[in-house]
Amino acid sequence: MNTKEPIIRMENIVKVFPNVVANDGINFEIYPNEVHALLGENGAGKTTLMNILYGLYKPDSGNIYIYGKKVNIKNPLYAQKFGIGMVHQHFSLIPYFNVLENISIGLNELKINLNLEKVKKKLEEIMKKYGLLVDPEKRIEEMSVGEMQRVEILKLLFRGANVLILDEPTSALTPQEVDELFRSIRDLVKEGKSVVIITHKLYEVFQISDRITVLRKGKVTYKGLTSETTQEALVEAMIGKSVSFNDFSREQIKVEGSLRVEGLTLYGKGNVPIIKDVTFELKRGEILGIAAVAGNGEKELIDIIFGLIKQNSGKIILDGKEIQNKPVKNRIEMGLSFIPAERLTRGVAAGLALYYNSILHDHWSEPYIKHSIINEQEMRNFARKIIKSFEVVAKSEEVLAKQLSGGNLQKFIVGREMLRSSKYILAVNPTSGLDVSATQMVRQALVNMRNSGVGILLSSEDLDELVSVSDRIIVMYKGQIVGSFERHEFDKIKIGALMLGKNA
């Protein structure tokens, strides 16, 4: 099998975004008649790499060869010409149009005359050939997600795609639809196509793929045939082996009080549980890490604790008082702070000056407001303090929040929440988008807060971060707590496996 020549070879691809190296010298090959799984955690650079191949991004360096010939894929149209097609996580179909009309959009030969009959004939041939059946007259808005996906794939085949890239194709499908999709993928490969699947679900890789490439933080950490690998090797490649305890000095001080969550449950659309019977306790002077792959209820859990979402059942007990029905303001007054993930829409009022943004959680209390009247000077002082102690790069406190870069904005928000007096801090990805030194500074600050008796609930996509600062880690999968680790038991591979839904 290794003697086969690859159709597409990506060589030494480098792509740098502000603050993050998304692809760091990646080599990637696509072979004929194969399903190639591109595996990795969120932010590992999978989608970026495929977007480069599809012509959506330009690599900063590196080359792409098709059948051994160097090519320059300037935009998706070129990619289509080379027989490359991609189905994005979010479909690009027009809901009010039917299948035929959607497939016709952007077909070059159409010009003005829309000969739908001709399109229909060709489409029916393709459907028969690959066993991908949909009703050509059905409108997209009446379709299930699985059907829409079939339409997307048909669209690519119609344009003569030879290599199909599917970005997280199973994320919105029911198990039956997944089976069906996998059957279609098998048929496609039998008919001579190549398929790339981007995923972070381990079990799917074994079900469908022939070949695997694992990315971690922009680098290839594993490459090989599926038949020659084990789950353990893949988890290790995805999550990293080196358990580097970046040790911060920890002191234990005894402070009374805890934030307890009991039997918290939240239902989403169609009564699907998003959070199911979650119970844990966060003590003051402790960092409790939540490890979860994005979308497993960790975000909603924190929103519920802060009061932004209403739970369906369960209790939240802060220092002995039930707060699950209290408004946000009360919870803030009782000592909660929150570093949110959505920095620009939630963390700050983007169109207002920094000093206005410095008191979001104190805008009713002295010294900033006395008898409902604003003291602008105090607001400015506090903003200056944040800017200075967290090294925010900003001309002055009068700069609008939206004028700061992402990293600086994050530093400002982290600084604001840490410098105000609070008993508990909820933090979601507090170091995302920060450079190495700022990341270190924020982590140090988290540990310092902990040492001074603040309880911190830390949800992070970065397992290294959780392991380096947490006292305890709980793992969430599909809305449930599936594991809990004390600091001395931390094992990234075990935690990683639980995050992916595997029983360790």
Partner 1 sequence: MILGLLVSSAFFILFRLSPFIGLATLLYEGFGTVYGWYNTLRMTIPLLIIAVGLSVPFTAKFWNIGAQGQFILGEIFATWIGLLLSKCVPPLADIIIAMFFAFIGGAIWAIPPTVMKLYSGANEIITTLMMNFVAVYLLLWLVSGPMQGAQARLVGAPSSAPIPAQDMLPLIPGTQISTGFLIGLALAIIFYWILKYTEFGYELKLIGEGEQVASYSGINIKRQIFLSMIISGGISGIAGMVYVYGITSTLIPQFFSDISTSFGYVGIPVALMSSLNPIGIIFASIFLGGILNGAFVMEAIYSIPIDVVITIYGLIMIFSIIGIMFDLPKLIKRWKR
Of 252, 364, 396, 486, the residue at the interface with partner 1 (CB under 8 A) is 364
User: Per CB under 8 A, does 116 bind partner 1?
Assistant: no
Taking the alpha carbons of 17, 36, 89, 503 in that order, is the dihedral positive or negative? Answer: negative
Structure tokens at 168: 């997280």
Least distance from partner 1 to the Cβ atom of residue 465, Å: 23
Least distance from partner 1 to the Cβ atom of residue 403, Å: 14
Of 253 and 328, which CB lies nearer to partner 1 in the complex structure? 328
CB 337 within 8 A of CB 417: yes
Nearest to 15 by CA among 28, 25, 7, 30: 25
Structure tokens at 197: 């699947």
Least distance from partner 1 to the Cβ atom of residue 34, Å: 44
How far, rounded to the nearest angstrom, does the alpha carbon of residue 71 sit from its chain's CA centroid?
31
- Per DSSP, the residues of 273-314 read EEEEEEEEEEETT-EEEEE--TTSSHHHHHHHHHTSS--SEE
User: Per CB under 8 A, does 327 bind partner 1?
Assistant: yes
List the interface residues with partner 1, window 194-233 (CB under 8 A).
none
Of 189, 205, 332, 454, the residue at the interface with partner 1 (CB under 8 A) is 332
Of 4, 351, 367, 489, the residue at the interface with partner 1 (CB under 8 A) is 351
User: Per CB under 8 A, does 360 bind partner 1?
Assistant: yes
Of 94, 133, 352, 393, the residue at the interface with partner 1 (CB under 8 A) is 352
List the interface residues with partner 1, window 46-75 (CB under 8 A).
none
β partners of residue 96: none
User: Per CB under 8 A, does 350 bind partner 1?
Assistant: yes
Does an H or E element contain 349, and which? Answer: none
Least distance from partner 1 to the Cβ atom of residue 372, Å: 5
User: Per CB under 8 A, does 349 bind partner 1?
Assistant: yes
Q: Is the bond preceding 95 in cis, omega lying within 30 degrees of 0?
A: no
Of 213 and 410, which CB lies nearer to partner 1 in the complex structure? 410
Of 43, 45, 335, 347, the residue at the interface with partner 1 (CB under 8 A) is 347
Q: Which amino acid is at 416?
A: R
Mask for 285-324, x = binds partner 1 (CB under 8 A): ---------------------x-x----------------
Segment contacting partner 1 (CB under 8 A): 103-111, 185-193, 337-345, 480-488? 337-345
Q: Which amino acid is at 445?
A: A
β partners of residue 288: 457, 472
Of 88 and 363, which CB lies nearer to partner 1 in the complex structure? 363
CA atoms within 13 A of residue 251's CA, in its CB half-sphere: 9
CA atoms within 13 A of residue 504's CA, in its CB half-sphere: 17
β partners of residue 21: 16
Structure tokens at 269: 């659309």
Of 49 and 336, which CB lies nearer to partner 1 in the complex structure? 336
Q: Is 466 helix (H, G, I), strand (E, B) or coil?
A: helix
Of 143 and 259, which CB lies nearer to partner 1 in the complex structure? 259
User: Per CB under 8 A, does 136 bind partner 1?
Assistant: no
User: Per CB under 8 A, does 428 bind partner 1?
Assistant: no
CA gyration radius for the chain?
Answer: 25
Nearest to 448 by CA among 248, 259, 247: 248
Q: Is 367 helix (H, G, I), strand (E, B) or coil?
A: coil
Mask for 375-404, x = binds partner 1 (CB under 8 A): -x----------------------------
Q: Is 259 helix (H, G, I), strand (E, B) or coil?
A: strand
Of 355 and 485, which CB lies nearer to partner 1 in the complex structure? 355
Of 119, 212, 348, 482, the residue at the interface with partner 1 (CB under 8 A) is 348
Segment contacting partner 1 (CB under 8 A): 42-50, 62-70, 248-256, 352-360? 352-360
User: Per CB under 8 A, does 420 bind partner 1?
Assistant: no
CA distance 418 to 446: 8
Nearest to 289 by CA among 501, 39, 489: 489
β partners of residue 474: 290, 484
Of 328, 366, 396, 484, the residue at the interface with partner 1 (CB under 8 A) is 328
Nearest to 76 by CA among 58, 59, 56, 96: 56
Of 338, 355, 390, 412, the residue at the interface with partner 1 (CB under 8 A) is 338
- Which residues would be at the binding site for partner 1 (CB under 8 A)? 306, 308, 327-329, 331-332, 338, 340, 342, 345-352, 356, 360-361, 363-364, 369, 372-374, 376
